[in-house]
Amino acid sequence: MQSGASRRRPLGRTIIHVALVLSLAFGVLAGAGGYWAVFRAPELVRAPDDPAVIAAARTVPRGRILDRDGVVLADNERGPKGELQRVYKGRAISQVVGYASSRYGRAGLELAFDAELSGLASDPLNDALRKFGADPYDPQDLTLSLSYGLQKAAIAALGDFRGAVVMLDPTTGEVLALASTPTYDASKVADPATARQSFEALQADKGEPLLPRATLGRYVPGSVFKIVTAIAGLGSGAITPATTYKEQPGAEKNGLLVDGFRVRDGHHVTTRSKALDFIEATEASCNIWFALTGLQIGGKEFVDYAGRLGFGAPLPFDLPTAISQVTGGSGSAPGGFKDDVELANAAYGQAETFVTPLQMALVASVVANGGELLRPRLVTAFAGKAGKREVGPETLRRVIDAQAASSIMEAMVAAVEGDLGRRFTAGSKVRGVTTAGKSGTAELGGTGEPHSWFIGFAPADAPKVAIAVVVEQGGRGAEIASPIAGDLMTRYLAANP
Amino acid sequence: MTVAPDIGARRAPLAQSARAGRRRRIQPRARWGEARLLLLVAVTLLVGSISLGATLTGAFVPYDARDLAIYLGALLVAHLAQVLAGRRSDQILLPVMGMLGGISLLLMQRLPQGLVTMNLGATELGLGEVQLLWLVLAIALATVVGVAVRSDRWLRRYKYTWAALGIGLLLLAFVLGTDIGGSRLSVRIGPFSGQPSELLKVILVVFLAGYLSENRSLLIEQDTRVGPLRLPPLPYLAPMVAMWAIALGIVVIQRDLGAALLFFAVFLALVYAATGRVSLVVIGLVLFLAGSALMAALFGHVRARIDVWLDPFGDPLGAGYQIVQSLHAFARGGLLGVGLGNGLPLVGGRIPIPEVHTDFPLAALGEELGLVGMVAILALYLVIVQRGLRIGAAAADDFRAILATGLALVIGVQAFIIAAGNLSVLPLTGVTLPLISYGGSSLLANALVVGLLLALSDKGVEPPPPPGRRGWLSRLPGRGR
Amino acid sequence: MDGFLLLLWVMRLVFLALLYLVLARVMRSLLRDLRAAAREPTTSLGRLIVLESPSGEPATGLSFDLDAITTLGRDVNNAIVVEDPFASSEHAVLTFRGRSWYVEDTSSTNGTYLNGRRIEDVAAMGYGDEMSIGQVRLRLERARTT
């Protein structure tokens, strides 16, 4: 010890300070341990790049995926090295079921329900108990509402066209078919031997076979969007079924002047100078009438009602969905429209209006279901070690009252069965059954054929199936989308009388 | 006037002088506390070994009864040697070291044995057996140092010699070092290879203890005002700057971030312990941050470490692979762990964390023993630190106090740095987890630390020499009064 | 859960429990050690009696209980302030190290005397020895046993 100790203290106190700081530092370590081992653990132990998950994927069979009739859509097979790989029932379901590949990850339901299929899904309590079990994995079999037969028929009906078909049961929200073309062979992506070659070819394909158009494709809707306008108009009280516009017949010839822009209409041959009411306008698919209705509703109200139908946000579905929109929303007019011209054009499905086929099928099913929107569902049951868990119907909200829904149904029946309507929707009628529907022809601007649309449901008095069909550049609605819808609804109703 | 209870010198029995004590015959002295703790450690390790055996072989027998017996035997011999030597040294350090070493043995036994191999005559030893060899040597070293070192004169007298030796080691590493993973840490001379920085840290503490105890008064008393800070006269800051430069030099020359961080942290802690001046620590931290920024700006490998630290999941398959795998391991472990031998799922026949036996043993233990087990292990390190600091606080003079404090901090801070790296609390730096990581240099250096602490803890140790000449700082100009 | 696995998990948890038992035992030893240190009597190591002090600072007859380090000098920061014209501001230090006392002259101008003899640097000091700084005389005595 050195001398001269005026301010020097014994070392003890500073040593205690050092001890406290280091203890605090170790406390931080314990805290960090808790953060990773407890707080972040549920997410990390399920991440597909966790070695335990990778190891399990090679040894623990994934859950199977079955359709509504018990047809196995996705199953496991042992490869030449004894490692498990997925095999799929056929090309028709690829964009729904997706793939599980050791090389390219997962897609579709294989991605959305990866945790359940691989047996890792659980609550925190089960997480804690899981590792005490001999076999810690509990892969779940998924049962879908999809009908493999109907799905195959939908794919076949679309043929070489690019497009999508969505069919659902409007009373339960169960999705019966969710077809997109072109499609691909998911088994080849799942097979390590062919994965690379097949996947790279799919990525290079200009037809974008990997894109599930039914849920992620965004299309200009054309006239099928008039049903959305009708829902907003009747729902908001802006119009009644008896509403007529006296300027409408004149505007048929010269176009409707909105803010100096002329809204024109082409097909008005038989209606002459009669001012049309709602049902007649729907049957004739009168653009002028719906443009005037759109202006009558107002941008804000219009967007609000579309929002009730599911526009403006991803749909609460089992697969990821693109967002459908009435307008780009960047404008300064109410609802985000740029001006009244855009609003008038949007009201008959042009301008900045983009929709997914699934969204349009929901529009049809809201009308069919008396104005109530049900959550669309693909997965109806999980079956694991602990038994089977059913997923029931779920009402999201009432969009319009039953009377408004009934008026729209009447208009849609006229559009299929009426003398004038028949011309636009030829082939969509289900024989012997009252059918409701609306066709659409979405002008894309520039050259090229328009998208061909049809939405509808049958039977009109007690709907069992709702449908949305879009055929990319298929021409007028009547020419291609309508007959596809008619055939598919006929097929379903024949099997489920 | 009161007597500070921390100064323990008065506890030395006045009646017997050390000289007389040394001439007396050495009498065995029972160490029941240590014996009881060691017995408990042995039982714990036996249970652990059986649990490991059951996981790996399916039968409830110790995984490797022979190796476990050798290890426990070494602990027993160490205990008996201390009993026979009759010294009144600390009875907690050996059991704690034994516990950590035993956990290390269990971990190395369950890792792929091919990670490290060593040919001993005709037989080839795997990772577990090589580690057992080093562990036994480490226990032997700690015991021999703890029993045999009765005087610290050789440490305090030649501190500049030690400093020179340390710098020599550093140069040796630079000249002869072999690059491993971008860091020049390892030196190979003939059949021997080792990491000089492991020994360097002990030498550093010895030098600092000598330097700080000599110049303590001066560093405390003298003031220069620089703005709001009250500092020692600027010449006295020279060692601080020199230390900073050496730390940066280690980063530049050896590319060893961990050692630089360890040295600088221990240095700052000791300066604070010796002087109680927060201003010095603040200056040190400012220098440290400036140095870090400089290094990050100049060197890609430093910047890469920091980037990975800021966002470990940014590049999970590239730069962040190790740390992401480490975090996944902690997550798989959860609260209670997956059990010894049940973790580290093989992917394509490989363990998921590269360098798990040297840099990431804590992640492996965190997975297999869970958060609960990991916290216990961290607590064991704190126990070692507490023992060292207690020995320091009770030491008879400043040199011993600072030496014991520094030795304890070397183990504690190093454990913190690598644990923080594994948990992504700090950027990952390649230091070993003391007494657990695989590696001869690391085990022996840390055993040397434990041995010195044992020796210093003996209350009957030779009294410090009477005050001699002052430190060189007292001869600097400006000291006048 | 089969019997083997159950037993295995019991072993694993027992290992963790034992790990904590080791920790608890170690902690107990630590605490016992700390308590023992706190209980130790805090009597002083020795006393310094003022035999003569013309200035009255320190007062004659006063007895100082000594720390392991006791500084003497004219500066008020010293443990024992010695007011004497011949005293330096930091004059001398008494230290107890190991088993004996040492007096060290801290470069004072006029020197420190032990039993009448001026010391150079350091000198061992026994109980009963007298030291002087200027005209102040002090005697080292054993601590009183309480």
Mean pLDDT for B95-107 is 97
Could you tell me if B410 and B392 are in contact, meaning their C-beta atoms sit under 8 angstroms apart? no
Q: What's the rounded Cα separation, in Å, for the pair B94 and B37? A: 9
**Residue-wise burial string across A120-129, b where 16 or more C-beta atoms lie within 10 A, e elsewhere:** bbbeeeebee
Residue reference for tokens 């010695």: C82
Could you tell me if B417 and B430 are in contact, meaning their C-beta atoms sit under 8 angstroms apart? no
Could you tell me if B206 and B159 are in contact, meaning their C-beta atoms sit under 8 angstroms apart? yes
CB contact under 8 A, B3 and C68: yes
CB contact under 8 A, C5 and A134: yes
Could you tell me if B431 and B418 are in contact, meaning their C-beta atoms sit under 8 angstroms apart? yes
Q: For B16-50, what is each residue's pLDDT tens digit?
A: 344 444 445 678 888 999 999 999 999 999 999 99
Could you tell me if B367 and B338 are in contact, meaning their C-beta atoms sit under 8 angstroms apart? yes
Helix-helix angle B93-110:B440-457, to 10 degrees:
170
3-state secondary structure of A6: coil
Quick count: other Cβ atoms within 10 Å of Cβ C70?
Answer: 24
CATH says A47-205 is which class? alpha beta
Q: What's the rounded Cα separation, in Å, for the pair C126 and A195? A: 92
Q: What's the rounded Cα separation, in Å, for the pair B9 and B21? A: 17
pLDDT of A234 reads 92
Per-residue pLDDT band at C129 (split at 50, 70, 90):
confident
Mean pLDDT of chain B: 82
Mean pLDDT of chain A: 85
Nearest chain A alpha carbon to B336: A128
Please indicate if any CB of chain B lies within 8 Å of the CB of A332: no
Residue reference for tokens 């070192």: B149
Q: For B196-219, what is each residue's pLDDT tens digit?
A: 778 888 988 998 888 888 777 677
Higher-confidence position of A283 and B367: B367
Is the pLDDT at C120 greater than 90? The verdict is no
CB contact under 8 A, B374 and A33: yes
Q: Which amino acid is at B16?
A: Q
Q: What angle do CA A228, A231, A232 make, to 5 degrees?
A: 90
pLDDT of B8 reads 36
Q: What's the rounded Cα separation, in Å, for the pair A213 and A220? A: 13
Please indicate if any CB of chain B lies within 8 Å of the CB of C64: yes
Is the pLDDT at A9 greater than 60? The verdict is no
CB contact under 8 A, A134 and C106: no
Q: What's the rounded Cα separation, in Å, for the pair A372 and B36? A: 75
Mean pLDDT for B129-153 is 92
Say how many CB pairs under 8 Å bridge A and B. 172
Is the pLDDT at A229 greater than 90? The verdict is yes
Mean pLDDT for B119-144 is 91
Mean pLDDT check: name the lowest of B244-258, B340-354, C59-73: B244-258
C69-73 vs C80-81, strand pairing mode: parallel
CB contact under 8 A, A26 and B213: no
3-state secondary structure of C11: helix
Mean pLDDT for A404-426 is 85
Could you tell me if A248 and A421 are in contact, meaning their C-beta atoms sit under 8 angstroms apart? no
Taking contacts as CB-CB distances below 8 angstroms, the residues of chain C near B37 are: 22, 25-26, 29
Long-range pairs for A271-277 at CB < 8 Å and ≥24 separation?
A: A271/A420, A273/A249, A274/A249, A275/A244, A275/A245, A275/A246, A275/A248, A275/A249, A276/A244, A276/A248, A277/A241, A277/A242, A277/A243, A277/A244
pLDDT of C98 reads 64
User: Which whole-number Å values give the CA distances from A73 to A65, A67, A101, A111, in the listed order?
Assistant: 5, 7, 16, 15
pLDDT of A284 reads 83
pLDDT of C44 reads 62
Domain residues of chain B, as ranges?
A: 26-457
3-state secondary structure of C43: coil
pLDDT of B418 reads 95
SS3 of chain B: CCCCCCCCHHHCCCCCCHHHHHHCCCCCCCCHHHHHHHHHHHHHHHHHHHHHHHHHHCCCCCCCHHHHHHHHHHHHHHHHHHHHHCCCCCCCHHHHHHHHHHHHHHHHHHCCHHHCCEEECCEEECHHHHHHHHHHHHHHHHHHHHHHCCCCHHHHHCHHHHHHHHHHHHHHHHHHEEEECCEEEEEEECCEEECHHHHHHHHHHHHHHHHHHHHHHHHHHCCEEECCEEECCHHHHHHHHHHHHHHHHHHHHHCCHHHHHHHHHHHHHHHHHHHCCHHHHHHHHHHHHHHHHHHHHHCHHHHHHHHHHHCHHHCCCCCCHHHHHHHHHHHHHCCCCCCCCCCCCCECCECCCCCCCCCCHHHHHHHHHHHHHHHHHHHHHHHHHHHHHHHHHCCCCHHHHHHHHHHHHHHHHHHHHHHHHHCCCCCCCCCCCCCCCCCHHHHHHHHHHHHHHHHHHCCCCCCCCCCCCCCHHHHCCCCCC
Could you tell me if A475 and A451 are in contact, meaning their C-beta atoms sit under 8 angstroms apart? no
Burial of residue A256 (CB within 10 Å: 0-12, 13-18, 19+) is buried
pLDDT of B144 reads 95
The secondary structure of A89-105 as a DSSP string is S-GGGHHHH--EETTTE
pLDDT of B200 reads 84
Interface with B, mutate which of A22, A40, A43 (most B CBs under 10 A): A22
Q: For B290-347, what is each residue's pLDDT tens digit?
A: 888 888 888 888 888 888 898 888 888 888 899 999 999 999 998 999 899 988 888 7
SS3 of C90-145: CCEEEEEECCEEEEEECCCCCCEEECCEECCCEEEECCCCEEEECCEEEEEEECCC
Q: Which amino acid is at B198?
A: E
3-state secondary structure of C63: strand
3-state secondary structure of C47: strand
3-state secondary structure of A161: coil
State the smallest CA–CA distance between residue C105 and chain A in angstroms.
Answer: 9
Is the pLDDT at B435 greater than 90? The verdict is yes
Q: E strands of C29-99, at which residues? A: 46-52, 63-65, 69-73, 80-81, 92-97
The pTM for the full model equals 0.72
pLDDT of A21 reads 94
pLDDT of B371 reads 95
The secondary structure of A35-66 as a DSSP string is IIIIISHHHHTTSTTSHHHHHHHHHSPPPPEE
pLDDT of A318 reads 92
pLDDT of B212 reads 84
The number of residues in chain A equals 497
Q: For B375-431, what is each residue's pLDDT tens digit?
A: 999 999 999 999 999 888 877 677 888 899 999 999 999 999 999 999 999 998 888
DSSP state for residue A336 in the 8-state scheme? G
Is the pLDDT at B110 greater than 50? The verdict is yes
3-state secondary structure of A469: strand
Q: For B446-480, what is each residue's pLDDT tens digit?
A: 999 999 999 988 865 555 555 444 444 554 554 43
Taking contacts as CB-CB distances below 8 angstroms, the residues of chain A near B409 are: 18, 22
Chains with ≥3 CB–CB distances under 8 Å to C: A, B
Q: For C7-30, what is each residue's pLDDT tens digit?
A: 999 999 999 999 999 999 999 988
Mean pLDDT of chain C: 83
Q: What's the rounded Cα separation, in Å, for the pair B190 and B175? A: 15
Q: What is the largest CA-CA distance in chain C?
A: 93
CB contact under 8 A, A132 and C78: no
Mean pLDDT for A338-358 is 89
Give CA torsion, residues A147, A152, A155, A160, to 10 deg.
180
Interface with C, mutate which of A1, A2, A3, A9 (most C CBs under 10 A): A3
Within 68-87 of C, beta carbons closer than 8 Å to B belong to: 68-70, 79
Please name the fold of domain A216-378+394-495. Answer: Beta-lactamase (3.40.710)
Q: For A132-161, what is each residue's pLDDT tens digit?
A: 666 677 888 999 999 999 999 999 999 889
Within 30-49 of A, beta carbons closer than 8 Å to B belong to: 30, 32-34, 36-38, 40-41, 43-45, 47, 49
- Closest to A253 in 3D by CA, of A270, A271, A265: A265
pLDDT of A85 reads 87
Per-residue pLDDT band at A255 (split at 50, 70, 90):
confident
Higher-confidence position of C6 and B230: C6
- Closest to B341 in 3D by CA, of B50, B81, B1: B50
Q: What's the rounded Cα separation, in Å, for the pair B130 and A338? A: 77
Mean pLDDT for B434-448 is 93
pLDDT of B41 reads 97
Of B51, B464, B468, the CB nearest to C15: B51
Q: What's the rounded Cα separation, in Å, for the pair B247 and B250? A: 5
